[in-house]
Chains A and B, each alone.
Chain A
Amino acid sequence: MSIPVPRIRLPSRRLRAAGIVVAAMCLLPLVYLAGRAVAGGGLFDVLLRERSFGIAGRTLLLTAAVALGSAGLGLPLAWLTARTDLPGRRILTGLLALPLAVPSYVAAFTVATALGPRGLLQRALEPFTGWERLPEIYGFPGAFLVLVLLNYPYVYLAARARFAVMDASLEDAARVLGAGRWRRFRRVTLPLLSTALFSGGLLAALYTLSDFGAVSLLRYETFTWAIYNQVRGSLDRHTAAGLALLLVFATLLVLAAASRFERASRPSPGAVQTRPPSLHRLGRWKWAGLALASGVLLPALVLPVGVCLYWLIQAPAGAMTGLVPALGRTGLVSLLAAVATTALAIPVAFLTVRFPSKRSSALRAISHIGFGLPGLVVGLSLVFFAVNVAPFLYQTLALLVFAYAVHMLPQAIAPVEATLGPLSPRLDDAARSLGARWMRRHWRITLPLLGPGLASGLALVFLTSVKELPATLMLAPTGYATLATTVWSAAENVELGRAAAASLVLLLFCAATLLVVLRPGRPLRPAVR
């Protein structure tokens, strides 16, 4: 007698094909870098330099610290806004995601101005304390502070999305079994949140690898800064490519570390929300909650906005001209990028979550490479490919959208994976057994169930596309001035009022988008129960 062997589930041909397309797309920068670094001897140069090891150490230290810091800040903020009666949480919910849209050089500049050794804070404190200098902010502390303030929203949004679909019954069961508040959180809630924490922390880590603004203004030499120095200082693309390959290696290390921890704590699927948990009453603790939220928003949002307003007030007339068309162009390209990137993220998430294998982990790793690379490198690699392979696409909107997708794909993958994880594949099987075709199954069941993840993915890609600068300058159609390029060119020309006006329009635009996507109190919820 033979025991019936359960049928091994394999991805459909359609899904595999989609995976291959995404992988090919995301490998372009790597192919370019390998060519440049090997042909020009850049990799060899870089590996032989003693300084490269210092840079590698600093890069990994900052990356790990920002990932942990973002988790440490994003989780309590998500809990406060999603699960407690914190006063003003409707507004705070949106505001707390907004630092994501603040370009890092703006935040770094304002933080350095305010918290520098002889900055605004020192001058405000001196009459009372007599301190002539504050501790040095340049180097690790400043870069860490700014990057955590800008990146905790990755964890915050992922954790919020998870809170939104969390079922009350698990915590209730723990309560009935006599678990105290802390124990319930640690043993029930936290494990359910682990995917969100890891995926959000991973995005924060990868963003840190690719960031130039904060590390350059606050003077902490990482790979990205070294790459920019090579390109801007001596137009040396070969050494830059060698450094960028090491950065790819760092990205893969970070990814491997994240998935190792993640696998150890992945929750089992099957938990669909039947009833949202009730809100915790904060009581007197609400003041602590408000202090935490405002302590974050003050340097990450209020300070940059304040500086912009200061410049705007002094601006001459005409500072606003051309901002409306720039807003339209920004909106169009960011929207196209958000939709295209999220669409590409869906097959990747399905392959990695539903069909874990070596091949799907490889796809996942490949699709993350572009996000760890600085925009300058992604831009240069696509300049090379477009010019040599598809010259008719060079400097068109289509190529720019493509570049954004290569650069930002992980931001859409993470939330889609996080919502897909707890969903049972049996729903799909049931629909199949009822005779529903592919299109209908996905349209009526999968996509609605993925709703919150898709919305977060769209929002994350949209917000970061809006502020993207180096690839936009290289690849946008000639004359396609966006809000980010307007801020840049105005700042270059010392038209500070205009730079401030464009920055404020950019932030308001992002705020409006977030308010629609997040819709506090009415989180996007699976339509099918």
Chain B
Amino acid sequence: MKPIFNIEKRLSAPPSGRFAAAAIVLIAATGCTGAPEPETLTIYCGRGESLVGPVVEAFQAETGIQVEIRYGGTADLAAQILEEGDQSPADVYYGQDAGALGQLASEGRLSPLPDSILDRVPARFRDPAGRWVGTTGRARVFVYNTELLTPEDLPDTIQGFTDPRWRGRIGWAPTNGSFQAFVTAVRLLEGEEAARAWLEGVLANEPVAYPNNSAIYQAVADGEVELALSNHYYLFRFLVQHGDEFAARTVSPGGGGAGGLINISGGGVVNTAANPEAAERFLAYLLTEAVQERFAGETYEYPLVPGIATDPAVTPLSEINPPDLELGDLDDLRGTLDLLREVGAI
């Protein structure tokens, strides 16, 4: 209520006073951003604040490096870095999709990383040219309603979703980035025609389209649909909030193919970074045991550094049959979007 009263008060004040007041507010608002301190690290972060914020605080406490962190969408922040050009304030780009990292790298906006960072993770979770490194992984899963289905009812591969017996009973999130990366993987592994046939087969089963993965889990638990495609770690976030009576569980598709895709979150050092040493320290910090364990425990993602235990509730990485695929090749999202549009999925 107050702001409007303020306007009216200001409108009735002498004009010179009003302009002075506005000017003071504007100057005060802009005055707090002076020249950046030399030891300030700027991170553009496409991952959630509740997850990354505590890690960044610990990093600041341990290293004494001041961190400025800007949160946004993974793709939007990458586009912003491209638009900022040489003047970009960003030192580190940290996002949750291998495709965006691959695009930034191919536009020449990521600097090569030292082997000491790259060698922390297996080769399939980093850029072959060494410009970005994965920090955590996520698997595709089938989500099912535990009151309507048992694990025996579920298909073994993604092809099962085209079986007419699932007509009207399945859900997906065709606009979601993880889903689209998965479709890109289907295209790369099995070819355009097979990908199109699979999408058309699923569409014939009249899947319910959800805007994101959490909506999928909620819908499955509510029995709105019985079976859906999603990412593995959301389940555990729901279980923390709702307890064991939450009526959805997941299985990892055992049959291999694109269903076994492991996508990553990861980061790179921006080529125009004012502070590349601090940027590399931050990426190295994300790959320390303590932080990897923290990610594994808090987000139920797969730690990518060998030897760190995955949360016991999560299907171990070794039991997932991953396709033979370079993650950086998942950057042809445009072709995927065209295909999804042509078949009428989005």
Contact = CB atoms under 8 A, between A and B. Distances in A.
Given A237-B83, A396-B33, A474-B80, A314 B100 contact: no
Contacts of B7: 335, 338-339, 458
A125 B266 CA distance: 47
By size class, the interface of chain B is 35 or more
B194 interface: no
Nearest to A108: B211
B1 A229 contact: no
Interface stretch (B70-78, B116-124, B301-309, B318-326): B70-78
A388 interface: yes
Interface in A364-423: 376, 380, 383-384, 387-388, 391, 393-398, 401
A474 B72 contact: yes
A109 interface: yes
Interface in B27-74: 29-30, 32-33, 42, 48-51, 68-73
B3 A335 contact: yes
Contacts of B2: 331
Given A118-B208, A339-B7, A493-B50, A479 B75 contact: no
B334 interface: yes
Contacts of B332: 234
Given A447-B11, A470-B76, A396 B29 contact: yes
Nearest to A451: B11
B343 interface: no
Given A118-B208, A496-B214, A515 B1 contact: yes
B4 interface: yes
Interface in A96-111: 105, 109
A205 B121 CA distance: 51
Interface string B234-270: 1001100110000000000000000000000000000
A474 B76 CA distance: 8
A395 B48 contact: no
Given A118-B168, A233-B334, A489-B71, A398 B26 contact: yes
B124 to A, nearest CB: 23
Interface of B: 1-7, 10-11, 15, 22, 25-26, 29-30, 32-33, 42, 48-51, 68-73, 75-76, 78-80, 82-85, 87-89, 100, 103-104, 107, 168, 175, 177, 180, 206, 208-209, 211-215, 224, 234, 237-238, 241-242, 331-334, 336-337, 341, 346
11 contacts: A233-B180, A235-B75, A235-B78, A235-B79, A334-B3, A336-B26, A339-B10, A388-B87, A494-B213, A496-B214, A517-B4
Interface of A: 105, 109, 116-118, 132, 138, 216-217, 219, 221, 229-237, 314, 316, 331-332, 334-336, 338-340, 376, 380, 383-384, 387-388, 391, 393-398, 401, 439, 443, 447, 454, 458, 462, 470, 473-474, 477-479, 481, 485, 489-497, 512-513, 515-517
